[in-house]
């Protein structure tokens, strides 16, 4: 992963963004020697966001199972039929 100073980003934003789009590799931005932010390609960010939403849904489902908040197929059909009318 590439690392850049925030001052370099300020001076060479266009160049850094062009390299980011070409390589698709995130860029770590540092301030005062400490990590401050990541620059990522828009498509990569959207893909990560979608994956996080899917994983969040899976985690909620697992929690519902552990808390015994489950429905039989027939109960689920009844509940969904109210939404699908």
Sketch the domain layout of the chain as residue ranges.
Answer: 1-40, 41-85
Question: What CA–CA distances, in Å, run from 44 to 14, 33, 38, 49, 58?
Answer: 19, 26, 12, 9, 21
Q: Which residues contact 26 (CB under 8 A, 6 or more apart)?
A: 1, 2, 20, 38, 39, 40, 44
User: pTM, whole model, 2 decimals?
Assistant: 0.71
Q: Give me 61's structure tokens.
A: 């489902």
Q: What is the pLDDT of residues 36-49, one digit of tens each?
A: 999 999 999 999 99
Domain 1-40 belongs in CATH node 1.10.3470: no
Share above pLDDT 70 across residues of the chain, in percent, rounded to a whole number:
99
Torsion over CA: 9, 12, 13, 17 (sign): negative
């Amino acid at each position: 992963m590439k690392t850049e100073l925030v001052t370099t980003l300020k001076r060479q934003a266009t160049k850094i963004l062009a390299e980011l789009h070409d390589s698709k590799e995130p860029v770590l931005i540092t301030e005062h020697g400490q990590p401050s932010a990541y620059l990522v390609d828009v498509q990569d960010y959207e893909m990560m966001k979608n994956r996080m939403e899917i994983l969040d849904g899976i985690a909620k489902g697992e929690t519902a199972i552990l808390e015994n908040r489950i429905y039989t197929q027939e109960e689920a059909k009844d509940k969904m039929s109210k939404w699908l009318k």
